[in-house]
Amino acid sequence: MNKPLRRVAIFCGLLVLALLVRVNWVQFVQADSLKNDTHNRRVAIERYSMPRGNIIVDGKPVTGSTVTDSGDFKYKRTYKNGKMWAPVTGYASQAFDANQLEKLNDGILSGTDDKLFFSRTVDMLTGEKQEGGNVVTTLNSKAQKAAFEGLGDKKGAVAAINPETGAILALASTPSYDPSTFAGNSQKDSEAFTALQKKNDPDEPMLNRALRQTYPPGSTFKVVTASAALENGLYDDVDSKTKSPLPYTLPDTQQPLNNEGNIPCENATMREALRVSCNTVFGKMSADLGNKKMMAEAAKFGFNNDKIDTPVRAAESVYPKDNRPQNAMDGIGQASNRATPLQMAMVASAVANGGKLMKPYMVEQLRAPNLNVVQQHTPQELSEPLSPENAQKVQSMMETVVQEGTGQSAKIPDVTVGGKTGTAQHGEDNKDNPYAWFISYAKTDKGTPVAVAVVIESSDTLRDDIAGGKLSAPIAKSVMEAVLQGK
């Protein structure tokens, strides 16, 4: 072979080699990135080419799929009672992607997850129509309905947990939205989605207040402060008098810490202080413990943890590193103290469960289209904020609050209910309507199946009538009753 031909042959060989390398690079190295590229329309077409699997509550789907009448996408998502379930399901939209359970479990629901490989292979061999798998939740439909209807036209949220397992039983947020209104890819869907954005609707109906919004927890946080006092040996008897002067001045200041009204708080016992909600007692308690010990106890309840995944990630609840006067205010749920409704349900849950905090979760199983279970959740202990002995003491105090104190509207006949009310200041110089809180649990001789947190962010109630015992406790009661009726 002469020299020019040899050069041409070598060059062509190098071109073929480069082509082979490139093909293998694209097929094996870049395959996933190309598949998941947002500009790859084929992925979206395939995703909506078959009915999407369902999100299941109490054995029944709260989602569905319907054939579209135009465009490249054959099926679009539908929702049953979408407004009630939106804080759980999230949305799946042909135009706007997905979020929450719809997004986190998209592989199962769309049938593309590797966990469904065997099921897909069988369907290909048998010629069966391919479908997505199902996501089985822990939610209780009666509890969710009680929470959603209890909130009504108020702005607020409810979170309910099974203290013994961590299973989330209700997750309601109002105002809400119907994901069906923008599940497609039309101009109408686009307009519906745009109208729900914060800049166009200041009430933020798409904000999941139960998981993603934090509030000052107000007096409900006194349960954590009481727990810290017991765990650190500041007090060991909830019926012995505390060293709590009246008036009480915040440390390093000349600023008095006031109570709500003329209530018996001077040297009150922990039980009495929680029953009537003494700011002076718990503010001084937090100051006596100090910021480090308060932060440590709050962390055991789940505060300052930015990875609470349900699997939808909750916003971080914060007990801050603070100076002495601010730490005293943090101890009564004010200052820079912030918590989600889920977090405060976790507080009630840990107390109710003998001091053990179970990790909250709302997906029980992932199932293939043939109903085979491809993943089963196992309850996990997250921490132990209280010893069993101290948990019993806090339970006793919370039960007094419901029997004789500010939480009496949460009483349920023949059921032991523990609770704590809270009215948290809001706005500069407390000029805005306060937040109304209530946390609670219900206990029977068969166990403690439910703990609840309710927060009302705003309502048409007169300012002087806004209180956790009046607004939030009745909602918590209805949620607890709904769970108990199913037992």
Residues with catalytic annotation?
Answer: 219
Q: Which pair of tokens denotes residue 105?
A: 């479990």
Q: H or E segment at 346? A: helix 341-352
3 state SS of 427: coil
Helices (H), 131-207: 141-151, 187-195
CA–CA distance, 344 with 209 (Å, rounded to integer): 13
- Residue 426 and residue 435 in contact, taking contact as beta carbons nearer than 8 Å: yes
Rounded distance, CA 93 to CA 232, Å?
A: 51
Rounded-to-integer distance, Cα 457 and Cα 435, Å: 5
362 within 8 A of 137, measured Cβ to Cβ: yes
Please provide the size of the chain in residues: 487
Strands 155-161 and 168-174: antiparallel
Kindly report whether the peptide bond that precedes residue 311 is cis, defined as omega within 30 degrees of 0.
Answer: yes
156 with 174: CB under 8 angstroms? yes
The SS3 assignment for 44 reads helix
Tokens for 77, please give them.
């998502």
- Supply the DSSP symbol for 2: -
Q: Which two tokens stand for residue 35?
A: 């598949």
DSSP 8-state class, residue 196: T
SS3 content of the chain, % helix, strand, coil (to 5): 40, 20, 35
Q: Which residue has the tokens 């309850």?
A: 379
DSSP states of 79-113: ESSHHHHHHHH--EETTTEE-HHHHHTHHHHHT-S
Interacting residues of 79 by C-beta distance below 8 A, sequence separation 6+: 62, 63, 64, 85, 86, 89, 178, 179, 180, 183
Q: Could you give phi then psi for residue 134, rounded to 5 degrees?
A: -120, 150
List 172's β-bridge partners, or say none.
Answer: 158
Residue 460: count of CB within 10 angstroms of its CB: 6
* Residue 299: other Cβ atoms inside 10 A: 14
Residues sharing a CB contact under 8 Å with residue 168, sequence separation 6 or more, in sequence order: 138, 139, 159, 160, 161, 162, 310, 342, 360, 361, 362
